[in-house]
Structure 1
Amino acid sequence: MAIDSSDLSEPPAPSWFTPKRLLVVFCVINMVNYIDRGAIASNGVNGSPRSCTESGVCSDGSGIQGDFDLNNFRDGVISSAFMVGLLVASPIFASLAKSINPFRLIGVGLSVWTLAAAGCGLSVDFWSITLCRMLVGVGEASFISLAAPFIDDNAPVAQRTAWLGIFYMCIPTGIAVGYVYGGVVGGSVGWRYAFFGEAILMLPFAILGFAMKPLQMKGMSHDKNFHGSIHEESAEHIAKERSSYSSFSNQLSRFWQDIKALLLEKVYVINVLGYIAYNFVIGAYSYWGPKAGYSIYQMENADILFGGITIIGGIVGTLGGSIILDRMNSTIPNAFKLLSTATFLGAIFCFSAFCFSNLYVYIVLFLIGEILVFATQGPVNFVCLHTVKPSLRPLSMAMSTVSIHVFGDVPSSPLVGLLQDKVNNWRISALILTSVFFLAAGIWFIGIFLDSADRYDEGGEHAGSAVEQPDVMPLLKNKPATASP
């Protein structure tokens, strides 16, 4: 059989790009993204609003709140504005991943993220910084729905949840580092420079997205068919397939079919509903935590202290929960058992923490609570990836991310700000917020009793999607791969 030399003109993959290096690249990108979230919530960047005493003495405030004269509700809107870009772009990027190299999509998104972060530093009022925060969400959309499937594909089978845990550990760690980073940079040279620094950190990864060689994602087929494949399709069929991808109406129809398929997966829906309630609390914690801690316990270095608690709780909890699920045997029912138990116990400790006036008792109880609630990160995303067929995994991650933001942390930040404007008591606000954890635990408890099947190894959408392409290959060499004879 003759072989077209053009198919062999490029090496299968860069020799230096191993599964662990792929994990490291994704982890750093994820961490920079969440450093931004922590920085904008820090006292050094977010600042304090303008205020006047009863005697008529007024202060100009500090940071974003002071410069733009924002009340707590508007300040909460800034924290949630990224969701607009994420909501619009996530389904688009997930759908395009079926026909376009995902790393090019990530490059486009991270380029937008970099420009938007720099734009935050140049903003002049509430509306300009809100617009830039919306565009930051576009960058996250390009990355978050594609990174987890790649990691799950290339992780050793016995360590899949642990690898996902390492990736999601970067969320609390990034937020915590962002608190410290925002506090130091904002306090020393001004809040605008914190955003300029983030843009510089992300720029190399935006370039890498365009420079990287394509890699195979399970359940996907890109650009070309495989010569000699046992699933080889006729040229006429390929031409029709490519034509259908170029049609907007067919793309839209395909997207809605995929959405319907996700909504019919009861286990997936229950998992996401629990994740929404969970993220409602976590999102508000991450944004209002330093400010609430400063008010309730008079923390002199609230950014650093709250950041330290989040780093320890995030690392220990996320890695611990992921390793425990791997040791339990990574199954969907076991994941729900861990999700409901850890969240329920974490809710008890976090709620109790805010009931004590002593700072040191609060730190101990809240740290234990954070460790328990962050133990959910690996298991909840394991369920998202393994309850749907491979070709739907990018969309499942995209819609999970969109849902937990639209119904979770996006409304929670301004709603808690509105609540605080009304009650003017951060302890009461924190207790009301923390009680939502019990709802999340209850929803995940239901998932234990649902019929579930791990669909990781189901056939992809296209007949030849599980076959290696000459220039698009899996990274993990010890994984079985179908090859043409």
Structure 2
Amino acid sequence: MAIDSSSLSEPIPTHPSWFTPKRLLVVFCVINLINYVDRGTIASNGVNGSPRSCTDSGVCSDGSGIQGDFDLTNFRDGVISSAFMVGLLVASPIFASLAKSINPFRLIGVGLSVWTLGVAACGFSVDFWSITICRMLVGVGEASFVSLAAPFIDDNAPIAQKTAWLGIFYMCIPTGTAIGYVYGGVVGTSFGWRYAFFSEAILMLPFAILGFAMKPLQMKGMSNDKQLPKIHSSYFSSSSSQLSRFWEDIKDLLSEKIYVVSVLGFCAYNFVIGAYSYWGPKAGGSIYHMKNADILFGGLTIVGGILGTLGGSVVLDRMNSTIPNAFKLLSTTTFLGAVFCFSAFCFSNLYIFMVLFLIGEILVFATQGPVNFVCLHSVKPSLRPLSMAMATVSIHVFGDVPSSPLVGILQDKVDNWRTSALILTSVFFLASGLWFIGIFMPIVDKYDEYSKQVTIVEQSDVIPLLESKPDDAIPISSLP
């Protein structure tokens, strides 16, 4: 692999005094948590609500929440869940490409500002189309963060704990979603679904401000010294060259077979997880007649998410964080998790379901750290933001974007949540099979390869100084 010598010789970035690696991790985890609280909130029964309906005797109900207020079918309700992905998918590659020339820390500030505006606007929506557009805006705002946060964490994590740090970060996905179920159920029921969105916007606002107020960090392998540019004619004149560079980067990314296999498995995995997160409370409430489905599913997801995500990451670090070991862990835990989750829905007893489903969630969430480790280390460092952006685009386009509406259509047809859940869960086996293929592929860790090249360049700069002869020394008398 050819290494750009200019990027190797760039000065090693220093941290501003306030942003120690651990503080950076904490800030990014809180932001990620709020992002996914929003995902859980819009899926909760308290905010999402129930549709209008009429019984055979002619008694009609107005429904509740978003679905009731806007009179949504299950399909349209699923579209709202997926709408923010449109903005996310369009904006993620753009932010990732801009990170090569504009400091990514400032780009995160821009994204969080847009996110805050979009979430607040959701609270003012008046119909299906207005809330759909607002959710798209939320996706645009989140795009910068999902593309750029993981490379920052990978740069700053201790070498022996890289996967564990990524695991802590991605633990916020199930935890935030689960908290969102509970939060949405409590706030939506007590104050109305609009207030749930207003509160989220207030929580995110300080972090949007932080992205502009603090001295920005630099990212390894990137020449991104520039601040946010002013728009002028030269910007538009260079747009064609930027587009050309973007397509070259996409070609480089697609040539990395390890990365492609990892993302394909991630797509199948996310197809199930996305539908679980959206339809889980509603399906559980119907199958097992749960009175507090939001809280129960939220609790199971928090426990399974924390134990699984941290456990999988720590296990990979103990095994030695390599790409082949990551694929072994991904394939095994996903297969076993699929068995337990599938078995859970086969039982009518609520307590048996809870035990089996919790074990299954622990196993399937063990993939979070390892799969993102593969995505970051199977490409050269300068492509990491784009690799995360395109992984995000792919897992949503082929994963949870179609899964929520498709499961909604399936449920409208079969009218049986148990059958729908079993069909959905079987897709986990496909994900396990795809990751199993990765174990046998020839593998090179591009991040480690880059780091070794940097070390060689640094040593070549130091050795001539060590080997200099006494005669070459500058005479003291010549010094001022």
TM-score w.r.t. the length of structure 2 is 0.89
For the 8 Å contact 2:311–2:366, the answer to whether it is kept is: yes
AA matched with 2:66: I
2:116 aligned with 1:135, yes or no?
no
Q: Which residue of 1 aligns with 2:83?
A: 81
- The CA distance in 2 between the partners of 1:402 and 1:103, in whole Å, is 21
Paired with 1:42 and 1:50, the residues of 2 have a C-alpha distance of 17
Which string of whole-angstrom CA distances, capped at 9 and with x for unpartnered residues, describes residues 207-260 of structure 1? 011112121211101237xxxxxxxxxxxxxxxxxx899711110000000000
Equivalent of 1:342, from 319, 333, 348? 333
Cα-Cα RMSD: 2.1
Matched, 1:439 2:441: no
Q: Does 1:278 align with 2:278?
A: no
Aligned twin of 1:121? 123
For residue 361 of structure 2, what is the aligned residue in structure 1? Answer: 370
Count of residues in correspondence between the two structures: 443
Q: 1:12: how far off? A: 5.6
Deviations 1:95-128 (A, max 9, x none): 0001101111111111110010011100000000
- Matches of 1:50 and 1:74 in 2, distance apart? 13
Question: For 2:378 and 2:28, how far apart are their aligned partners in 1?
Answer: 23
Paired residues for 1:255-266 under 5 Å: 255-266=246-257
Q: Structure 2 vs 1, CA of residues 467 and 23 (structure 1 numbering), >3 Å: closer, same or farther?
A: farther
Give per-residue Cα distances to partners, 1:52-86, cap 9 Å, x unaligned: 00010000000000000000000000000011101
Cα distance in 1, alignment partners of residues 68 and 30 from structure 2: 32
Q: CA deviation at 1:13?
A: 4.3
Name the CA distance, whole Å, in 1 between partners of 2:49 and 2:324: 44
Q: What is the alpha-carbon distance in structure 2 between the residues aligned to residue 256 and residue 41 of structure 1?
A: 36
- After superposition, what is the alpha-carbon deviation per residue over 1:354-378, rounded to whole angstroms, capped at 9, x for unaligned? 0000000000000000000000000
Confirm or deny: 8 A CA contact 1:459 1:466 kept in the other structure.
no
Closer/same/farther in 2, CA of residues 467 and 14 from structure 1, 3 Å limit: farther
* CA distance in 1 between partners of 2:372 and 2:15 (Å): 28
| Preserved CA contact (<8 Å) 1:42 1:290 | yes
Structure 1 residues 483 and 254 mapped into 2: Cα distance closer, same or farther (>3 Å)? farther
- SS of 2:220's partner is coil
Describe how 1:51-450 pairs up with structure 2 within 5 A. Answer: 51-223=53-225, 247-450=238-441
- Matched to 1:152, the amino acid is D
Q: Is the 1:244–1:251 Cα contact (8 Å) retained in structure 2?
A: no
| Deviation by residue 1:278-313 (Cα, 9 ceiling, x = unmatched) | 000000000000000000001110000000000000
Question: C-alpha separation between the residues in 2 aligned to 1:271 and 1:117?
Answer: 32
| CA–CA separation in structure 2 for the residues paired with 1:120 and 1:483 | 57
How far apart are 1:16 and its partner, in Å? 2.2
Query: 1:112-166: CA deviations, max 9, x gaps?
Result: 1001001110000000000000011111111011000000000000000000000
Letter in 1 for 2:404: S
Do 2:167 and 2:368's aligned partners in 1 also have CA atoms closer than 8 Å? yes
**Further displaced range: 209-218 or 272-281:** 209-218
Structure 2, unmatched stretches of 5+, are: 1-12, 227-233, 466-480
Identify, as 1 or 2, the structure richer in helix: 2
Secondary structure in 2 matching 1:379: helix
Change (3 A) 1:33 1:483: farther
Kept after mapping to 1: 8 A contact 2:218/2:225: no
CA–CA distance in structure 2, aligned partners of residues 257 and 178 of structure 1: 39
Q: Does the CA contact (< 8 Å) of 1:390 and 1:458 recur in 2?
A: no
2:446 counterpart of 1:455: yes
CA contact 1:168–1:377 (8 Å) conserved in 2: yes
**Separation of aligned partners in 2, 1:124 and 1:95:** 35
Using the alignment, how far apart are the partners of 1:467 and 1:96 within structure 2?
Answer: 27
Amino acid across the alignment from 2:221: G
Q: Deviations over 1:377-401 (max 9, x none)?
A: 0000000000000000000000000
Partner of 2:46: 44
CA distance in 2: counterparts of 1:395 and 1:465, whole angstroms: 25
* 1:351–1:431 contact (8 Å) kept in structure 2: yes
Distance of 2:456 and 2:143 partners within structure 1: 25
Residue aligning to 1:471: none
The 8 Å contact of residues 16 and 217 in structure 2, kept in 1 or not, is answered as: no
Supply the distance in 1 between the matched residues of 2:416 and 2:393 (Cα, whole angstroms).
Answer: 31
Q: 1:156-212: per-residue Cα shift (whole Å, max 9, x none)?
A: 000000000000000000000000000000000000000000000110111011112
Contact 1:350 1:365 in 2 (8 A): yes
Checking the alignment, whether the CA contact within 8 Å between 1:49 and 1:71 is kept in structure 2 is yes
1:107–1:244 Cα change, 3 Å: closer
Deviations along 1:259-287, one digit per CA (max 9) or x if unpaired, are 00111111100000000000000000000
CA contact 1:45–1:191 (8 Å) conserved in 2: yes
Structure 1 residues 139 and 467, CA gap change in structure 2 (3 angstroms): farther
Is the Cα contact below 8 Å between 1:38 and 1:182 reproduced in 2?
yes
State the alpha-carbon separation in 1 of the partners of residues 371 and 114 from structure 2.
28
- Tell me which of the two structures has the higher relative contact order, counting C-alpha pairs closer than 8 angstroms and 6 or more residues apart: 1
Contact 2:333 2:364 in 1 (8 A): yes
Shift of 1:323: 0.2
Asked if the contact 2:103/2:218 (under 8 Å) is kept, the reply is no
Rg bigger for which structure?
2
Q: Quote the residue 1:232 is aligned against.
A: none
| Paired AA for residue 103 in structure 2 | N
Return closer, same or farther for 1:52/1:465 CA change in 2, 3 Å cut-off: farther
